Amino acid sequence: MTKAHKPTTHPAHVEIERQLGATLAPRTSAVLRVLASRADDKGRAALERDELARIAGLDELDLEIGLAIAQGRGVIERVRLTETSLGRVILSTRFAGVS
């Protein structure tokens, strides 16, 4: 009896890195990995900025640099920061090329 081969599914960030030639800096990869895991089917992700930094293992400066590089490379179309009434900052992004 043979086992059926299960296709391997990769997280979205792996495909993004392949398209860019796997030349992303570690901080950019960390940011994209977290955002891709939270993105909906339209490529949108929203997360509290402090939580994103904590999950990605980055400080605030490295987080901002990673986002800027991803946006400059055309991986992310838009980054929006919204401050809530509680003083928290929500970061919303949209991956490029996802309809």
The confidence score (pLDDT) of residue 12 equals: 53
Residue 99 has pLDDT above 60, yes or no: no
Q: Give the position of tokens 């929500």.
A: 90
Mean per-residue pLDDT for 18-38? 76
Q: Which residue has the tokens 């055309």?
A: 74
Question: What pLDDT is attached to residue 41?
Answer: 86
Q: Report the range out of 12-16, 27-31, 88-92 with the highest average pLDDT.
A: 88-92
The amino acid that residue 42 corresponds to is K
Residue 76 phi/psi, 5-degree rounding, is -115, 130
What percent of the chain shows pLDDT beyond 70? 75
Give the gyration radius of the chain's Cα atoms: 15
Classify 23-95 by CATH class: mainly alpha
CB 36 within 8 A of CB 11: yes
Residues 67, 72: Cα–Cα separation, whole Å: 8
Evaluate if pTM is beyond 0.85. Answer: no
Beta strands across the sheet bearing 76-83: 44-48, 89-95, 76-83
pLDDT digits (tens, 9 = 90+) for 50-67: 999 999 999 989 999 889
Where residue 95 falls among pLDDT bands split at 50, 70, 90? confident
